[in-house]
Amino acid sequence: SIIPGGQPENRATYIGKGVMTRFSVPEMKGFVAYDDYVLHYDRRTRNAHWVFEHLTRERVKASEEAKRDKSEFHEEPKVHPFFRSTNSDYKGSGYDRGHLAAAGNHRWSQQAMNQTFSLANISPQVGKGFNRDAWNTLEMFTRKLTKDFPDLYVVTGPLYLPRREDDGKVYIKYEVIGKNQIAVPTHYFKVIVMAGKSGGLELMSFVMPNQVLPANVDLRNYLVPLNTIERASGLVFFDSIPREMFTRVNAKEQIS
Amino acid sequence: SIIPGGQPENRATYIGKGVMTRFSVPEMKGFVAYDDYVLHYDRRTRNAHWVFEHLTRERVKASEEAKRDKSEFHEEPKVHPFFRSTNSDYKGSGYDRGHLAAAGNHRWSQQAMNQTFSLANISPQVGKGFNRDAWNTLEMFTRKLTKDFPDLYVVTGPLYLPRREDDGKVYIKYEVIGKNQIAVPTHYFKVIVMAGKSGGLELMSFVMPNQVLPANVDLRNYLVPLNTIERASGLVFFDSIPREMFTRVNAKEQIS
Ligand SMILES: [Mg+2]
Ligand SMILES: [Mg+2]
């Protein structure tokens, strides 16, 4: 029988072999692992919660083999069809299909690059002035850091930030596009842990609004305290690293 | 050393003993189990994703011991302070502290009732006309079902539904209240699986807008197809039960 007895479950039976297992209570399933990066998908917004990459100088190098124009944007089969974003959702929306794990970070193999074209790794981004410009500048800056630091650990994701309106109240408001109602994030974040040759660690954390930004954008203007991103995203970053282990945090000198 | 070697991780090392474990990649932690119900907390909205209850006739019965006015709204220590909702967030907001797992469903013990006053189980609800009226009507209807069905499995949660605006675009917009920016859901859902004496299963699923609703609300007007709730919430409900096992779905005759 699938009907449990009438006695109150306790904590242990809820978690153990009790009703939880029997009725498969809804869970926030969304973890997807690729060859060269991992992400957690937010089934409600149809955007990733976060995308995690480990970058090194060798890995971001272009290989003979990998060609960007061989990669195709594709639906993510690991995401339930109810929550999957599709190419047609973006069509006519006015937004680019923006990479969270940048294609240019995964050029050591065609397959690794192809996997960044999963729509689970894609978010609606303003094209000119953002995806193709200011945000791309941040991605190139990130890759350049691999010349000075043997290992980078990078978390990238969307934000939906509140604004006070004329009625004095504070609202979160964002567009949704397409039949599958893909959320258009108001901002994006990128958190970078840089591991130096001597074992020292540095941290840099950026937030950029998803809008047309000035040409020759100055990345220093987009450095924000890590806990601002944490509070807004609902995430805690790198919490196994005690904060005092970072020799520098958001050091503007890294940005020339 | 906490610095892994320069070789590309593969899927296995990401998941296994590789960088994931070493650097504790952000996760969506949020599962909280109480004596008499369980929930998953959404750290970004500071509301539960869902609350799950198993109700029986015996459990919803008032006990001599349990008194509602002995229960106090309290912060949830299992939620990280960054994402915790507090009593002061609600103060002056104009919204009630509305229960997702209703206090009235857990009167068999004082402790069980107290646990429904965790702010992880609380969402901002319009008071008069909703929390104290229409939504309460749905909660009383749910409890009454225990007279006809030995076991009820109930999932309750918030929704943030999109609306088309004058510019022709579709937006999700909701207020956030207090220093901790608690989201005010636009709607709430309740999904009920009723297990009958003969082993048969029925399902009912409701969505109500978080606003003043008519007095003597007719609950039949708020029945919606389950997959509408699934698509909007990012959740899949009771997916271990094949849909053809439900002898009736959203049968209006249950509501007198
Ligand atoms: Mg891009
Ligand atoms: Mg209530």
Its sign, for the CA torsion A115, A117, A122, A127, is positive
Distance, in Å, from the CA atom of A248 to the CA atom of A153, rounded to the nearest integer, reads 15
Give which of B82, B84, B100 to mutate to test A binding, by max A Cβ within 10 Å: B82
Query: Do the Cβ atoms of A82 and B54 come within 8 Å?
Result: no
A54 assigned to active site: no
Looking at chain A, the whole-number percentage of residues with pLDDT higher than 90 is 70
Q: How far is A56 from chain B (nearest CA, A)?
A: 6
Which residue is catalytic, options A49, A99, A106, A187?
A: A99
Q: What tens digit of pLDDT does each residue of A190-203 get?
A: 999 999 988 889 99
Which of A1, A26, A33 is closest, CB to CB, to B236? A26
Q: What tens digit of pLDDT does each residue of B20-43 get?
A: 444 444 444 678 888 888 888 999
Distance, in Å, from the CA atom of A23 to the CA atom of A30, rounded to the nearest integer, reads 19
- The mean pLDDT value for A164-189 works out to 98
- The mean pLDDT value for B167-185 works out to 98
**Is residue B15 predicted with pLDDT exceeding 60?**
no
Distance, in Å, from the CA atom of B94 to the CA atom of A145, rounded to the nearest integer, reads 49
Give me the total of CB pairs closer than 8 Å, taking one residue from chain A and one from chain B: 192
Q: How far is A216 from chain B (nearest CA, A)?
A: 31
Q: What is the DSSP letter of B223?
A: B
- The mean pLDDT value for A81-108 works out to 96
Cβ neighbours of residue A175 closer than 8 Å, sequence gap 6 or more: A124, A183, A184, B169, B170, B171
Q: What tens digit of pLDDT does each residue of A200-251 get?
A: 899 999 999 999 999 999 999 999 999 999 999 999 888 778 888 899 999 9
Predicted local distance difference test score (pLDDT) of residue A65: 84
CB atoms inside a 10 Å sphere around CB A70: 11
> Which of A159-168's residues contact partners 24+ apart within 8 Å by CB, and which partners?
A159/A185, A159/A186, A159/A187, A159/A188, A159/A189, A159/A207, A159/A229, A159/A232, A159/A233, A160/A45, A160/A185, A160/A186, A160/A187, A160/A232, A160/B44, A161/A186, A161/A187, A161/A232, A162/B176, A162/B181
Distance, in Å, from the CA atom of B252 to the CA atom of B256, rounded to the nearest integer, reads 8
Give which of A1, A3, A17, A50 to mutate to test B binding, by max B Cβ within 10 Å: A3
Residue type, A50: W
- Give the pLDDT band of residue A22 (cuts 50, 70, 90): very low
What token pair was written down for B204?
């009912």
- Chain B environment of A227 (Cβ under 8 Å): 82
Predicted local distance difference test score (pLDDT) of residue A16: 45
Cβ neighbours of residue A253 closer than 8 Å, sequence gap 6 or more: none
What is the average pLDDT score of chain B? 88
**Is residue A27 predicted with pLDDT exceeding 70?**
no
